[in-house]
Amino acid sequence: MQIVPSNYIIKPRAQKKIRSFYQNVAKKYKHTYDLNDLVRDIEAAVLSVYQIEKTLLRREPLLARWAGYHMANTNKWYFAYTFDGETVTVVDACHAQNMRSTIKS
């Protein structure tokens, strides 16, 4: 029987990583990426957190700084988290575009 989490906590570091990624996109593509796009993409990333331990599989972390955490990923985001049987606590996030340069060797 699978234990389904009933609580989710997204730590400020993870929230900041998501926001800053899309704020940088907005700065770079200011003529084609507007506030609606920014809000939509942030909301989608945050909502994907709620699939951790449900439909997103638990994986071994790819980043050295995530040692000791579990990792889950969507097609765009990787999340480092802890799970105590009831609560998923997301401690860090990294966009897939940034994973290549940070993967441990």
Cα separation, 94 vs 98, whole angstroms = 7
Q: Provide the angle, in degrees to the nearest 10, between the axes of the packed helices 35-49 and 12-28.
A: 150
Residue 89 lies in a domain: yes
pLDDT bin (cut points 50, 70, 90) of residue 1 is: very low
Residue 105 lies in a domain: no
pLDDT bin (cut points 50, 70, 90) of residue 105 is: very low
Helix (H) or strand (E) holding 82: strand 77-83
Residue 85 lies in a domain: yes
Residue 24 lies in a domain: yes
Residue 2 lies in a domain: no
Predicted TM-score (pTM) of this structure: 0.88
Contact 47, 10 (CB under 8 A): no
Domain count, the chain: 1
Q: Residue 43's domain spans which residues?
A: 7-99
Q: What is the CATH number of the domain that holds 95?
A: 3.30.2310.20
pLDDT digits (tens, 9 = 90+) for 6-58: 899 999 999 999 999 999 999 999 999 999 999 999 999 999 999 999 999 89
